[in-house]
A and B are shown apart, each in its own frame.
Chain A
Amino acid sequence: MPKVSMTVNGKAVSAEVEGRTLLVQLLRDQLGMTGTHVGCDTSQCGACVVHVDGRSVKACTMLASQAEGSQVTTIEGLAKDGKLHPMQEAFRDNHGLQCGFCTPGMIMSALELVKHKPNPSEHEVRDWLEGNLCRCTGYHNIVKSIQAGAAAMRGGK
């Protein structure tokens, strides 16, 4: 089987994968990083969003081999020195979750939004989340969390 090498959350990893192995399968099944979730298996619900070279990607859409040589960041890679990222804190503090299954993907998507729009409006957040499904919260507190997280990130850290 071909071998792929990449950096995941700052650590160099390599693994043997089939050509058809998805990035999410590599992360979850081979690297044991189960924070990235599989909700719909068909790249629609967004629970599997990770960052590849700084861009949000649905890890159910991308082959592991396509991430060869890339910098991959997953939800597990956001906290630094045991301290949660401001966006993680915002989801926790603003009740931006219930069952929590969609949360990792929501946070990873939110971080890409903030890259483009450091101060997103409520409308912009709602539009951005088209590719992330949540069945519990009704999204209201997710939108609030993202705006609060963006504000905390603007505030510097």
Chain B
Amino acid sequence: MDDAPDLRAHPVRGAVGAAAAHDSAHKHVAGAAIYVDDIPEPPDLLHVWCVMSPHAHARIRSIDLADVRSAPGVIDAVSAADIPGKNDIGPMVAGEPILAEGIVEYVGQPVVAIAATSIKAARTAGALARVEYDVQPAVLTVDDALAQGLFVAPPVEFKRGDAAAALARAPNRLSGTFRIGGQDHFYLEGQVALAIPQEDGDLLIHSSTQHPSEVQKMVAKVLGLAANAVTVEVRRMGGGFGGKETQPAMFAAIAALLAQRTRRPVKLRLDRDDDMMITGKRHDFVVRWQAGFDGEGRITALDMDLAARAGHVADLSPAIVDRALFHADNCYYIPDVRLRGFACKTHTQSNTAFRGFGGPQGMIAIEEVVDAIARRLGRDPLAVRRVNFYGTTDRNVTPYHMVVEDNIVHGLVDELERWADYQERRRAIDAFNRTSPILKKGLALTPLKFGISFTATFYNQAGALLHVYTDGSVHLNHGGTEMGQGLFMKVAQIVAEELQIDVDRIKISATNTGKVPNTSATAASAGTDLNGAAAQIAARTIRGRLADFAAAHFAVPREAVRFRRNEVEAGANVVPFATLAALAYRARVQLSATGFYKTPKIHWDRDNARGRPFLYFAYGAAVAEVLVDTLTGEYKVTRADLLHDVGHSINPAIDRGQVEGGFIQGMGWLTTEELWFDAKGRLATHAPSTYKIPVASDLPRDFRVRLLEGARNAEDTVHRSKAVGEPPLMLANAVFFALKDAVAAAAGAAPSLAAPATPERVLLAIEDARGGAATP
């Protein structure tokens, strides 16, 4: 064909690698994207408000809802006693109630749910609920739970070699305690579910969830229904970040219970304060460590205990503690190592998944160790980090006995060091600090290596469903959910590439348990790896059928059939994709296909803490520079340079957005976001008035972000891309260690600083370090 070269030069719109806009961008900017609370309200809709526990730990003596039920506008009110099925939504461990049963175990725990004709009526009636409690002593902190041996799951241990013996013979030893705060998800759209009764007692549930299949399963369990009686749909979430992995099941189940009883549609939308009081957050950790090292700072032995505040029930805490241990090596080889993890039971919200899933806490713990060693030896922390990096051919086995096969940290850090002028700035900052008595600067470069795959191997599967209609337009569905991360667009781009059609010919549809069943949560950064691969397989199936048909129809060899830019060439014949679809339909070719993908190579023996839990690792590194006012502890992040590995990017604009957003969210976790509980276990920071997520003015003054160029996943992932959802959050470790660097410069001694490094903590760290220092 005359124009064949042009065709090749102009790929389809939205092909793999295009920096295409988010699939809903045009709707988001017009206020036309529908979130659950925007769905036109059905007639007779009821609204739910929950009566919450005022006590951290108490036995429920009695619940009397007579006055509630007779209050104006109230249609129904329920407590645990009214649940027809099992009052249990535990994802890993049984016994996690949607409504408190006999006992309350945190301030904010839902005890009673009230359905009324308005949210105001439900809330007003809540004051009439008579719940009598016998208050019990509460365990609120990791330290108290550890002292009493209270856990939600058995402790876990990873080990290689003999850490105790290696510590005993180490030339130098150092130990410490490091406290890491939690984090509220603060998804802008709070938890919400809309349950609509269907015929046969079935239910349709619109849920803002990362895990529709689990919502389906839990709702069915609570109501005593078969899973096929419950359909869960989610078009999009207004942010998830892990907070909508398990948490939505509670609210969907409460709405469903009230819908089942009243035969009316029921909506449960938490307001922000209630959301923050009821739902779990990122786990806060207490880490105790002891390290042995040589004169260069090379770690020879490490014994580390990582204890997480799990809250009142397990939720995902056992897996989160595991992932903390999986990342307590970060990029560093540790010859003799013992890591122990504890999921501590406390009378607080049940902490849950949050971007990184324990990984960030494990990673910052080992960074704290490396930083402490460097300061003990008086070496630049970057030099100490380098001597500890995993090797590429030796020194490459993790504490869980997986060989690191794809290590690129050396080259990546070298490149960042050059690009960010690390050494020159190090010298300039040291010079500045020598002459500036009040303002001090700090600088840090931290690397990251993050394991990709669900560590529960069976979750690493995904399905997709693809239809081609006779006009050549395509309907795409898969098990992944869209929470803003751009998954839907990336998967559509993969399909556009396979079928060689413009991406706007592909209709992206809501995740629905009736279309693709038994899905995994959109979590563990694995959304594109799993669902993109499944959709690619479905698209290849249809393309293969079309190619077979075109070869037969045009009587050309199969190899002479090519899909190119909305057209199909069959030898000398060229037809639009739509024409071929119509012809194939008339020839009775199936134009619908499913795709199924399961991650290869991975296995994990949890009992023996051995295996290959991850298909591959994502890498990145960041340099942060801060300026601290040593009289107040206030600071600014003056510059940040991020270099991150996304493999061969399916959409560099979306991936970059994940890097920028993840970094800032991580910065919030480590700087301003402080969860503060009072002595009675009440979360006092339960609204944005007191809980401070980053605002635009918190951005680094000079913010430079790059994706690693020429990168390619060493493993055979979809288009050799890499997962990008969680890893960039940990780039923010650089901000924390830059603050520590500034504190050290101010105090002239190695500081002790807990996360989040609020201005108050920075100021106290300076004063503490000065008090303990020999120098004036």
Where the two chains meet, the residues of A that have a C-beta atom closer than 8 Å to any C-beta of B are: 28-29, 32-42, 44-45, 47, 74-76, 78-79, 84, 88-89, 91-93, 95, 97-104, 107, 125-130, 132-143
> Which of A47, A79, A127, A137 has the most chain B CB within a 10 Å cutoff?
A137
The distance from the CB of B472 to the nearest CB of chain A, in whole angstroms, is: 25
> Which of B19, B21, B25, B237 has the most chain A CB within a 10 Å cutoff?
B25
Q: Are B189 and A101 in contact (CB under 8 A)?
A: yes
B699 cross-chain contacts in A, Cβ below 8 A = 126, 138-140, 143
- State in angstroms the CA–CA spacing of A93 and B653 once bound together: 10
Q: Which of B24, B30, B190, B705 contacts A76 (CB 8 A)?
A: B30
B29 cross-chain contacts in A, Cβ below 8 A = 75, 84, 88-89, 91-92, 97, 103-104, 107
Q: Which residue of A lies closest to B661 (CB)?
A: A138
A79 cross-chain contacts in B, Cβ below 8 A = 30
Q: Are B31 and A136 in contact (CB under 8 A)?
A: no
B32 CB-CB contact with A under 8 Å? yes
B17 CB-CB contact with A under 8 Å? no
The distance from the CB of B277 to the nearest CB of chain A, in whole angstroms, is: 13
Q: Which residue of B lies closest to A34 (CB)?
A: B38
Give a binary string over B229-262; 1 marks a CB under 8 Å from any A CB, 0 the rest: 0000000111101000000000000000000000
Q: Which of B187, B484, B660, B697 contacts A138 (CB 8 A)?
A: B660
Known A41-B271, A129-B695; contact A98-B657, beta-carbon cutoff 8 A: yes
Q: Which of B187, B241, B484, B660 contacts A100 (CB 8 A)?
A: B484
A140 cross-chain contacts in B, Cβ below 8 A = 660, 664, 699, 703, 705
Q: Are A139 and B687 in contact (CB under 8 A)?
A: no
- State in angstroms the CA–CA spacing of A132 and B695 once bound together: 7
Q: Are A100 and B24 in contact (CB under 8 A)?
A: yes
Q: Which residue of A lies closest to B667 (CB)?
A: A138
- State in angstroms the CA–CA spacing of A38 and B549 once bound together: 52
Known A84-B29, A97-B28, A133-B188; contact A42-B696, beta-carbon cutoff 8 A: no
| Contact-residue bracket for chain B | 35 or more
B19 cross-chain contacts in A, Cβ below 8 A = 95
Q: Which residue of B lies closest to A93 (CB)?
A: B21
A28 cross-chain contacts in B, Cβ below 8 A = 38
B53 CB-CB contact with A under 8 Å? no
Q: Are A143 and B238 in contact (CB under 8 A)?
A: no
The distance from the CB of B21 to the nearest CB of chain A, in whole angstroms, is: 5
Q: Which of A75, A84, A141 contacts B26 (CB 8 A)?
A: A84
User: Shortest 8 CB-CB distances between A and B: which pairs?
Assistant: A35-B31, A99-B484, A100-B28, A101-B238, A138-B664, A75-B31, A98-B484, A34-B38
Q: Are A40 and B687 in contact (CB under 8 A)?
A: yes
- State in angstroms the CA–CA spacing of A114 and B129 once bound together: 51
Q: Which residue of B lies closest to A131 (CB)?
A: B695
Q: Which of B30, B40, B485, B663 contacts A98 (CB 8 A)?
A: B485
5 interchain pairs, CB-CB under 8 A: A39-B190, A39-B272, A97-B29, A135-B186, A143-B696
Q: Which of B37, B185, B486 contacts A34 (CB 8 A)?
A: B37
B693 CB-CB contact with A under 8 Å? yes
CB proximity to A under 8 Å, residues B181-203: 185-190
Q: Which of A37, A40, A95, A138 contacts B654 (CB 8 A)?
A: A95
> Which of B22, B40, B41, B485 has the most chain A CB within a 10 Å cutoff?
B22
Give a binary string over B660-674; 1 marks a CB under 8 Å from any A CB, 0 the rest: 111111000000000
B414 CB-CB contact with A under 8 Å? no
> Which of B24, B28, B190, B688 has the most chain A CB within a 10 Å cutoff?
B28
Q: Are B703 and A88 in contact (CB under 8 A)?
A: no
B186 cross-chain contacts in A, Cβ below 8 A = 133, 135
- State in angstroms the CA–CA spacing of A113 and B85 once bound together: 54
- State in angstroms the CA–CA spacing of A114 and B447 once bound together: 39
Q: Other CB < 8 Å A-B pairs besides A101-B188, A133-B688, A143-B699, 10 of them?
A: A35-B30, A37-B189, A40-B687, A41-B271, A84-B29, A98-B485, A127-B696, A130-B695, A138-B662, A140-B699
Q: Are B31 and A76 in contact (CB under 8 A)?
A: yes
- State in angstroms the CA–CA spacing of A84 and B32 once bound together: 12
- State in angstroms the CA–CA spacing of A132 and B35 once bound together: 19
- State in angstroms the CA–CA spacing of A91 and B703 once bound together: 19
